[in-house]
Chains A and B, each alone.
Chain A
């Protein structure tokens, strides 16, 4: 690529726009494609962030023409896009939507796909650039990858442009299977062309966590075991398992959420300052954190699993996990997990990281709470500070994206009484226009080739090394029960009580 004279690094009004390229969606008719990907493409078009030459290519097992796909995509964008519907934004995409029908073992269909991509060179001035989005069940990854390899569609040199692949979680179900998958993807594509989506990393607040920590002088000096008592990371969902019973029952909360989202959040919270804000530098620091995570010795008390029973949530009666459609009545799969982890570094030694996630909890919320130590000495009378707790800095990931600082303040009046107050900073939903959806940001980054917000194969494998021993311990044991609409099982409460702490109510 030659230098573009119209792009000036100081000209920050001009957005980063990808080179002309195609986005190939395998499973182009599925849920993810319709609810997230195509709306994200529409939103990118509405914000003028797509290159002049841009084509969406759907691949699925349907007997469709281009216009059928376009119609479905149009409906998907209309009902799920973030930005208001504008016909002329759609007109920009319409006519640039193609569809190739066929199953993943159909060689002819893949040859047609390769041919269609080649034709774009002349018809749309797209010099071979394409991103392949595997929006398919993981079992089909190998087959699709083999086809891409066979047709040489994955090859940068043959294509004359970049060829990238995007994979969604789960990245395997344990260390050996993720190694196998990583080896396959990295062999078919080059490792730097592989993008693993963890949509939590596309969220504004998660990126803001890095700004908060590394652009300020205020927080970093106290961001260590001298001042931090403990860290709590919570990802609660009020929903159940929906229609994912088969997948979920084989997976469970630890593999579904803890392995990826929560450990990534932990790594970003705990990591050292990267030497630069580049993908490599950040990955290096995150990987160091993930490899230094230690598991509790007493797993019975510090690695608690739970499963929800029937209960009441948000004014409605909801069934228990084993009563959900498609779940075996004797299932011991966990829908809740709380673990005390440690980070074996000088900065964090001795600071417990309490990490929990669950379904059918009272509300949907994700937050990172940094709980500070109590002052070593208080000059006030003991009765004056009874309502004073630990100082806390809470990063609210969703909803109400923002930061809360909790500190002691004098109760106005003639007596000296100190109690906790919370100061909220809100830069998200309520005050400003809705910030870009995570997928919007991540799809754009894939097309730009910026892998900062994507976990690398090594990170995935390091995370499985944390999860596997836990799964091994849990195998054959029964989870604790909790009623739907409660903040998890009693054992999780006791876990913190035993340490003289308690969970934050998010």
Chain B
């Protein structure tokens, strides 16, 4: 592991090359570059998650921490690790101070692995407009996390307003296990669904996205009920023939599937850690249309999937920017 204090982007590129040569990392295939944007407070958490995700998909991890933007003196500190503290792959953690933080791409661009896709993940409150963050502009895939915003439901609306194909949100990723159980249960159902109810903690964006998904796929308007959590605790569906289907998960761990006329069944339905969620995102690098449709149905903002992909960087003074810390 190499640590560079008060350094330059060029030095970081050199140090990474050197570390790769000594570690013999040339022998493994790189599938993508993962850029992580995090606050100092969350950097440890982001590192753990990125390492977990990188163990499933060989990638170069670049973690960018923006600090003290109002500091007079721009400065760059970097830690380079190949097959060390940050997992088996290549990782660089960069702390950027002062105005440099607004030009993070000047350090990151030369560090991207050549000609493989880039995924940028904001671990924290994502920018209101992704176009304001150059680290999001050059990415092929952008992953936000509405649940980490001060108002998650408003954040969903922000994501929908700003949407471009290639965006996804971890709130959507968290719905996968639920959706998969629901889809499995519907393999046996041949009648229409007439009512739906979702129980979740207040302001749970995943519950809204499941509601959006059910609305899009089944044409039912789900009622959202606040429970004490954790996360989503219940999905209830009533069918045309008056039979019921429900999944209850009171403990965030294992669920009971109830269907009229069949004995109740217990299913594992874990809340996954953020590293597993991120690994799911790294699995696919093409636009996620079902997300666009669910987000559209949840927020009422239409025509998301037909928007042009790709963004132009828009300059934004940090005083006005939302989320750039």
Q: Nearest B residue to A11 by beta-carbon distance?
A: B290
Given contacts A48-B180, A51-B184, A425-B29, contact A13 B56 (CB under 8 A): no
B185 near A14 (CB under 8 angstroms)? no
CB contacts (< 8 Å) of A123 on chain B: these are 262-263
CB contacts (< 8 Å) of A431 on chain B: these are 28, 55, 58, 88-89
CB contacts (< 8 Å) of A423 on chain B: these are 27
A88 near B187 (CB under 8 angstroms)? no
B190 near A92 (CB under 8 angstroms)? no
Does B316 sit at the interface, judged by CB under 8 A?
A: no
A5 near B218 (CB under 8 angstroms)? yes
- The listed residue (A2, A17, A52) touching B265 by CB distance below 8 A is A52
CA distance A51 to B186 in the complex (A): 11
B27 near A52 (CB under 8 angstroms)? no
CB contacts (< 8 Å) of B284 on chain A: these are 12-13
Given contacts A2-B190, A52-B265, contact A7 B183 (CB under 8 A): yes
- The listed residue (B179, B180, B189, B268) touching A46 by CB distance below 8 A is B268
A91 near B180 (CB under 8 angstroms)? no
Does A15 sit at the interface, judged by CB under 8 A?
A: yes
Does B176 sit at the interface, judged by CB under 8 A?
A: yes
Does A311 sit at the interface, judged by CB under 8 A?
A: no
Q: How large is the interface on A (under 10, 10 to 19, 20 to 34, 35 or more residues)?
A: 35 or more
Given contacts A13-B176, A13-B280, contact A88 B218 (CB under 8 A): no
B254 near A10 (CB under 8 angstroms)? no
Q: Nearest A residue to B180 by beta-carbon distance?
A: A14
Does B148 sit at the interface, judged by CB under 8 A?
A: no
Main SS class of interface, B: mixed
Within B17-61, the residues touching A (CB, 8 Å) are 27-29, 55-58
B181 near A432 (CB under 8 angstroms)? no
A433 near B183 (CB under 8 angstroms)? no
A6 near B217 (CB under 8 angstroms)? yes
CA distance A124 to B29 in the complex (A): 45
- The listed residue (A2, A4, A48, A425) touching B177 by CB distance below 8 A is A48
B residues contacting A by CB (< 8 A) are 27-29, 55-58, 88-89, 173, 176-177, 179-190, 217-218, 253-254, 257, 259, 261-263, 265-268, 270, 280, 284, 288-290
A127 near B266 (CB under 8 angstroms)? no
CB contacts (< 8 Å) of A1 on chain B: these are 187
The 8 closest A-B pairs by CB, nearest first: A6-B183, A125-B262, A88-B254, A11-B290, A2-B190, A424-B27, A6-B186, A17-B184
B187 near A20 (CB under 8 angstroms)? yes
22 contacts between A and B (CB under 8 A): A2-B190, A4-B186, A8-B290, A11-B290, A14-B183, A17-B184, A17-B187, A51-B184, A52-B181, A53-B188, A53-B262, A88-B254, A88-B268, A92-B265, A92-B268, A123-B263, A127-B188, A423-B27, A424-B27, A425-B29, A431-B58, A431-B89
CB contacts (< 8 Å) of A349 on chain B: these are none
A6 near B218 (CB under 8 angstroms)? yes
- The listed residue (A2, A15, A88, A432) touching B253 by CB distance below 8 A is A88
What's the least CB distance linking B259 to chain A, in Å? 7
A15 near B186 (CB under 8 angstroms)? no
- Additional A-B contact list (5), CB under 8 Å, known A48-B181, A92-B267, A122-B262: A4-B183, A4-B186, A6-B183, A7-B187, A46-B268
CB contacts (< 8 Å) of B55 on chain A: these are 431-433
